[in-house]
Structure 1
Amino acid sequence: MTNSVDTQSLMLQMRSLAAEAASQSQPVKQPEKGAETAGNFAELLSQSVNSVAEEQNKSSAMKTAFEKGEDVDLTEVMVQAQKASLSFQAMTQVRNKLVEAYKDIKNMPI
């Protein structure tokens, strides 16, 4: 079973998905003072981790469906796998920046 992939079509889909993602970005709200800011940050971080997990679960489900021979397009599987990979890499970078900021604050002289 050979699946030929139309690279032009795949690139157009990836560009349209990137444009869609850019247009869906929401404006950033100004944080409120005090403990509410910490609560909002913790909630935002939790939502981000859950979103990454959801993308990875969707990717895994699509891969499994494709392997079972169900009616799933290979390009959709690959695009979802890339979405999951990119979201995980972005979350890793955010984590690294948070750890770096924590270390900087911890090492500040009092």
Structure 2
Amino acid sequence: MKIDPMMTEMQAMKMEATNSNVPATGAQVGSEFGELLNNAMNNVNQLQKSSSDLQTRFDLGDPNVSLSDVMIARNKSSVAFEATVQVRNKLVDAYKELMNMPV
């Protein structure tokens, strides 16, 4: 698993957040958050499709696909999915907490 592109992206996001002189409106923050969630879901979906494709190719006897490739892809997609579920759970908890606040 290559960490360098992910680290570069995280550093770029940090620089963007710290160098932002223009205050963001609620609509801008909401749309950026929505895009971030959409991108994350698409990445998880792509990992799952890739894992499934590798497994199918291995099952069909493709000599270019090894068992270790299949297992690594499967674990990557599993970890990504579990992380997505945890983020969803935290968002639901935060929503419930906001809804229970007195006005």
Place the TM-score, normalised by the shorter chain, in its bin.
Answer: 0.7 to 0.9
Partner of 2:48: 56
By how many angstroms is 1:33 displaced? 3.0
1:69 aligns to what SS in structure 2?
coil
The one-letter amino acid of 2:6's match is Q
Residue by residue, what CA displacement relative to the aligned partner does 1:26-64 show, whole Å, maximum 9, x if unpaired? Answer: 223327332100000001001101110100000000000
Matched, 1:103 2:96: yes
By how many angstroms is 1:23 displaced? 5.9
Q: How many residues align?
A: 92
By how many angstroms is 1:21 displaced? 1.9
2:3 aligns to what SS in structure 1?
helix
Residue identity over aligned pairs, in percent, reads 38
Question: What 5-or-longer segments of structure 1 have no aligned partner?
Answer: 1-16
CA distance in 2, matches of 1:87, 1:51: 8
Range 91-100 or range 29-38, more displaced: 29-38
Partner of 2:79: 86
Question: What 5-or-longer segments of structure 2 have no aligned partner?
Answer: none
CA distance in 2, matches of 1:22, 1:87: 17
The one-letter amino acid of 1:89's match is E
Normalising by structure 2, report the TM-score: 0.82
Higher helix fraction (1 or 2): 2
